[in-house]
Amino acid sequence: MNYEFFIAKRIIGSKAYKSSVSAPIIKIGIAAIAIGIVVMMVAIATGIGLQQKIRDKVVAFNGHVTITNYDSNNSQESIIPISNNQEFYPEFKSVDGIKHVQGVASKFGVIRTETDFEGVYLKGVGSDYNWDYFKEFLIDGRLPDYSKKRNEEVLISEYLANRLQFKVGDKFQMVFAKDDPEKLPNMITYNVVGIYSSGFQDLDAQYILGDIRHLQRINRWEDDQIGNFEVFIDNYNDLEQKGREIYKNTPSTFNTQTVTDKYYSIFEWVKIFDKNIYGIIGIMILVAGINMITALLVLILERTQMIGILKALGSSNWSIRKLFLFNASYLILLGLFWGNLIGLGLLFAQKYFKLFPLDPSVYYVTEAPVYINFGYILALNIGTLVLCLLMLLVPSYIITKISPVKAIRFQ
């Protein structure tokens, strides 16, 4: 057995060690490591979780990449239709990593009730629409079915339902203006079959989802004409690359726009979370390292006589330094153990019991989302251990300055 490890183990297991002068300082060092790892785990889990949740909510309403006509229309309303008879629809075979392509259209209208009215966009979708995201958002009722004949079923947000006092099964009229102001507007009576809540209030307040065939009829489009295409990809990390590939593989009359370009301000705000995470990790490791340096110096001071005896018996400076580094490693590992136990407990409690709510008007989510991945947890633990030990190499150098004769006499 490595004798430095053997001596360190005996020191850690001795009763005198646990009741020594350094014991409170050692406990503070362990607590600093534990608190540091808890804060870092929570920062990473909530930071990444919030990024993913916000990203998924925006993608649900837009797709990863939007294909539209090359025109000057900057509004959310579909003006000039495009045919869905394209080589890339319904399967985008010329680009790898494309999960789904769907045709949609939007038109502004006014919901009218006996006591109130609300201006919103009806997003027309068809049988090709991917409902996976809205399955998660659904809080009441069911999703509409547009796979058969044209119908008046709509999915409305909880935000709009509360403002207009709607519930599942209610009917309402929606008025759509015509291009010619002298003509009477189109009026359709819709039936609320489901209520969703994405938590993204800016988008929940804008859209209800209905049958695209109503918009085709109102706009006098052909059955194969839509407003734009929404493209979903397999891996969000490849968004920029796939966006360029999609652009190159669509006709010159079409324009493409990634979700990050369309909602630039939101995604720039989300990127700030990365800087916050790095800053928190740096501060916590620095604080934990300083506490461990203090604990190590106290341990060295307390064991000065032992250091003198070991030197007198022929131990090298590096050998004695290793002994104290083994001792410090035990303290760091103990702190990591308690930190992981508490940190994972908090994260799983938040994931399943939603203990900490958030204001959706500020954070776009109703509760703090957590992303738990044992890969980053392992990397965080290893990184903390290695960095703390590297920081302890410098103060352990003080052992080389201790004289055996003076150390043995030290009281």
Domain-located, residue 243: yes
What is the structure's pLDDT at 316?
86
Residue 42 shares a structural domain with residue 79: no
- As separate numbers, helices (DSSP H) first and strands (DSSP E) second, the chain gives 15, 12
Domain boundary pick from 198, 222, 251: 251
Domain boundary pick from 196, 222, 251: 251
Residue 91 shares a structural domain with residue 158: yes
Residue 275 shares a structural domain with residue 336: yes
Residue 195 shares a structural domain with residue 293: no
How many domains would you assign to the chain? 2
Q: Helices marked H in 165-219 — which ranges? A: 201-204, 212-218
Domain-located, residue 129: yes
End-to-end CA distance of the chain: 31
Domain boundary pick from 195, 218, 251: 251
What is the structure's pLDDT at 410?
56
Greatest alpha-carbon pair distance for the chain in Å reads 107
Residue 289 shares a structural domain with residue 219: no
Domain-located, residue 61: no
What tens digit of pLDDT does each residue of 30-66 get?
899 999 999 999 999 999 998 999 899 999 999 999 9
Residue 239 shares a structural domain with residue 373: no
Q: How many whole angstroms separate alpha carbon 198 and alpha carbon 206?
A: 12
What tens digit of pLDDT does each residue of 374-397 get?
999 999 999 999 999 999 988 888
What is the structure's pLDDT at 182?
73
Domain-located, residue 396: yes
Residue 282 shares a structural domain with residue 385: yes
Residue 155 shares a structural domain with residue 210: yes
* Residues in the chain, overall count: 411
Q: Contact 188/173 with Cβ under 8 angstroms?
A: yes
Residue span of the structural domain in which 131 resides:
71-251
What is the structure's pLDDT at 21?
64
Residue 21 shares a structural domain with residue 114: no
What is the structure's pLDDT at 215?
95
What is the structure's pLDDT at 143?
96
Residue 217 shares a structural domain with residue 282: no
Q: Any idea what DSSP says for residue 130? A: -
Domain-located, residue 26: yes
The three-point CA angle 389-344-390 to 5° equals: 5
119, with CB counted inside 10 A (0-12, 13-18, 19+), is exposed
Q: Residue ranges of the chain with pLDDT lower than 50?
A: none
Who's near 372: CB < 8 A, 6+ residues apart? Answer: 45, 344, 347, 348, 351
Q: How many whole angstroms separate alpha carbon 247 and alpha carbon 257?
A: 9
User: Which residue in this structure is represented by tokens 């919030």?
Assistant: 50
Residue 86 shares a structural domain with residue 235: yes
